[in-house]
Amino acid sequence: MAKVMGRARPWAGKSKPAKVEIYTRWSFHLFVVGELVVMVMGTVGRADSPVGGWFLVLGCAHALAVGTYISYALDWALGRRPRPNRLMAVTAVLSGVGTVATMALIAATPAPRTGDVQSLAYLLVAFAGFGVGSLVVGIRRVKNMLLLVLVSVVVVALSGLVFGEPFGGIAGSVLGVLIAGLALTFTTGFSVWLVKAVWDLDSARELQARLAVAEERLRFGRDLHDVMGRNLAVIALKSELAVELAQRGGTEQAAAQMSEVQRIARESQREVRAVVRGYREVDLHTELEGARGVLRAAGIGFRLEGAAGTVGDAGGDGGDSGAVGGTDGGSGGGTGLPADVQSALGWVVREAATNVLRHGDARQCTVRLTVREGCDAVLVVENDGLPDRAALARAGADGPPRPAGAGLAGLRERLATLGGTLDAGPVDGTHFRLTARVPLAATATGTAETRGTTGSAESAGTARTSEVTA
């Protein structure tokens, strides 16, 4: 069982576009197998004749050319290499030669020839049908694809007329090639279009994410400019004025200007802190709703089980008070938690949702928020898409921790400032679980102490003539 899971993880670690491409490639490779089967069915009746052997050799060469050409042509369709024109020409020539030779053999078959013609029809479908179906991979326009089918039908009809085939035989051959050609053309053309569309959508989603990051950086830069631009200009102007006054002996006026500079600097410091706080802090309820929308948009089920904002008495058994269990789409947002705890757990939800989308192949994601008043808050994010070991290492759940602020290692540092912990890893070999735990009592005490220290520092800073900015 462990070996089977080990072989399955590389597939689970691949992106959805890569899976679609692999499935399509192997479907095309089955063309080779299908053509060989049809060739054997067409030549088995002539096993005792040299003609049957030569047709089998020609069919194997055609099948090999088809398989090789499709592989290269699919890479061309996805923009990874130039169009394989030589392979395309070889496949077209082998298809034409096989089709003409088959029509000649049909015309040369003496009556009664019901069984022979039926076996030769397999050869005709193999050369003409599979040939057209493979050549379509290297063509972009639907009009050219249909034109290729028309050319194959014309070749069959002209070959029948040249070799003296009766009209009924020509009509049957044309009809068979037309049906097989259209069916295989639609199948291969639609498959190539689907693979290309999936990759394009994945690229568009990645580009959208990069644009969102760039837009957020611009917004943050704009906010800093709006906050600091005017204040820095005023500080520079008043500092220059203070220097001029000091040089002229107006020490009292210079001191007044420098006091104003100090006041503006402190005001700028508070404004920058407010901007950074608004940029870095997140709201737990907002992140839960965002994770719900993103995961559901990706086709992943989302189940929320959590505190509804009002935390009950945690006495007695210390159970999960305030929990709302088993409700899909419940409104548990942890609104009764302190702001710093909500911010830290909100970052956990954001990173967990990102890892579910990027590193696994989940079908269901469950978020459980358990709040015990005066004790701790526990957030558990579990999904059934266990990523491979490389993805775990990239996320920071396996191997040495990454630099600060990156992935799960960054979350551990955020929670450590509140006395919390973060555990992440596989569960039962099929699920991945992330558990964040923050002690509420320690958080409340630490917050009160921090506020007290900050207030004392601000009072002392007001009395002093200078301030050291952290």
Report yes or no: 373 and 321 within 8 Å, Cβ to Cβ.
yes
CA distance 401 to 337: 29
Amino acid in position 51: V
Which residues, 6 or more positions from 47, have their beta carbon under 8 angstroms from its beta carbon?
Answer: 53
> Could you give the CA distance from residue 32 to residue 470 in angstroms, rounded to a whole number?
70
Q: What is the pLDDT of residue 309?
A: 39
Q: Helix, strand or coil for residue 315?
A: coil
C-alpha–C-alpha distance, residues 174 and 160, integer Å: 9
pLDDT at position 387: 62
Asked if the model's pLDDT at residue 346 lies above 90, the reply is: no
Instruction: Report in angstroms the alpha-carbon separations of 163 from 90, 105, 170, 367, 431.
Output: 25, 9, 10, 73, 66
Q: What whole-number distance in Å separates Cα of residue 182 and Cα of residue 178? A: 6
Phi, psi of 96 (to 5 degrees): -65, -45
Burial class (CB in 10 A: 0-12, 13-18, 19+), 229: exposed
Looking at residue 381, its pLDDT comes to 92
Q: Tell me, what's the pLDDT at 368?
A: 92
Give residue-wise pLDDT tens across range 248-278: 888 888 888 888 888 888 888 888 877 776 6
Token output for 273: 């802190």
Q: What is the CA radius of gyration of the chain?
A: 36
Interval 53-110: pLDDT, tens: 787 788 888 888 988 999 999 999 988 889 999 999 999 999 898 888 888 887 777 6
Lowest-confidence range among 115-129, 190-204, 368-382?
115-129
Q: Is the peptide bond before 403 cis (omega within 30 degrees of 0)?
A: no
Choice between 155 and 454, residue whose per-residue pLDDT is larger = 155
| pLDDT tens per residue, range 1-46 | 344 444 445 666 678 888 888 888 888 888 788 878 877 776 655 6
Q: Which conformational region is residue 164 in: left (phi greater than 0), alpha (psi within -120 to 50 degrees), or beta?
A: left
Q: How far is CA 251 from the centre of its chain?
A: 65
Give the pLDDT confidence score for residue 147 in this predicted structure: 92
Q: What element of type H or E holds 437?
A: strand 431-439
Q: Give residue 404's pLDDT.
A: 36
Tell me the H-state helices in 78-141: 85-108, 114-124, 130-135
Residue 178: closest CA among 132, 115, 116? 132
- What is the reported pLDDT for 379? 93
Q: Per DSSP, what are the bridge partners of residue 417?
A: none
How buried is residue 270: exposed, middle or buried, by Cβ count under 10 Å (0-12/13-18/19+)?
Answer: exposed
Average pLDDT over residues 104-129: 73
DSSP letters of 7-43? HHHHHHTS-HHHHHHHHHHHHHHHHHHHHHHHHHHHH
Residue-wise pLDDT for 355-376, tens only, equals: 887 766 788 899 999 988 778 8
Q: Which pLDDT value is given to residue 88?
A: 92
pLDDT of residue 116: 62
* pLDDT of 408: 78
pLDDT for the residue numbered 461: 37
Give phi and psi for 367, each to the nearest 5. Answer: -115, 125
Residues 303-340: tens digit of each pLDDT = 888 654 333 333 333 333 333 333 333 334 555 788 88
**What separation, in Å, do the N-terminal and C-terminal C-alpha atoms of the chain show?**
56
State the average pLDDT over residues 154-178: 86
Give the per-residue pLDDT at 331.
Answer: 38
In whole angstroms, give the CA distance from residue 139 to residue 74: 10
And the tokens for 50? 């040299």
> How many angstroms separate the Cα of 116 from the Cα of each of 52, 57, 107, 110, 170?
12, 19, 11, 9, 15
Predicted local distance difference test score (pLDDT) of residue 293: 77
Mean predicted lDDT score pLDDT of the chain: 75
Token pair of 264, please?
């503006």
- Give me 427's structure tokens: 């569960």
Distance between CA atoms of 99 and 165, rounded to whole angstroms?
14
DSSP state of 285: H
Confidence of residue 353 (pLDDT cuts 50, 70, 90): confident
pLDDT in tens, 395-442: 454 444 443 335 678 788 888 888 999 998 888 877 889 999 999 864
Residue 251 neighbours by CB distance under 10 Å: 11
Phi-psi region of 429 (alpha: psi -120 to 50; beta: other; left: phi over 0): left
Cβ of 121: how many Cβ atoms within 10 Å? 20
Instruction: For the sheet with 301-307, list strands across it.
Output: 323-324, 301-307, 364-372, 376-383, 431-439, 421-427
% of the chain residues with pLDDT over 90: 10
Distance, CA of 235 to CA of 229 (rounded, Å): 10
Task: Retrieve residue 232's tokens.
Answer: 């820095």
Q: What average pLDDT does the segment 160-188 reach?
A: 86
Listed in order, strand segments (DSSP E) in 211-313 are 301-307
In this structure, the number of other CB atoms found within 10 A of the CB of residue 2 comes to 7
